[in-house]
Amino acid sequence: MPRVKVAIPADAVFEAHIPVRITDLNYGGHLGNDALLSVLHEARVQLLAHFGYSELELAGTSLIMADVAIEYKGEAFYGDVLTAKMAITDLHKYGFDITYHVLNQQDKEIARAKTGMLCFNYTTRKLAAVPAEVKIKFETNA
> In this predicted model, what pLDDT tens digit does every residue of 41-73 receive, in sequence order?
999 999 999 999 999 999 999 999 999 999 999
How far, in Å, CA of 12 to CA of 103, rounded? Answer: 13
How far, in Å, CA of 71 to CA of 48, rounded? Answer: 23
Cβ(83)–Cβ(17) under 8 Å? yes
How far, in Å, CA of 18 to CA of 94, rounded? Answer: 29
Query: Is it the case that residue 85 has pLDDT exceeding 70?
Result: yes
Kindly report the pTM of this predicted structure. Answer: 0.96
Confidence of residue 141 (pLDDT cuts 50, 70, 90): confident
Q: Look at strands 62-72 and 95-103 and give their pairing.
A: unpaired
Query: Is it the case that residue 106 has pLDDT exceeding 80?
Result: yes
What integer pLDDT is reported at residue 1 of this predicted model? Answer: 84
How far, in Å, CA of 37 to CA of 113, rounded? Answer: 9
How far, in Å, CA of 84 to CA of 18, rounded? Answer: 8
Architecture of domain 14-141: Roll (3.10)
Q: Which of 138, 135, 57 minimizes the C-alpha distance to 94?
A: 135
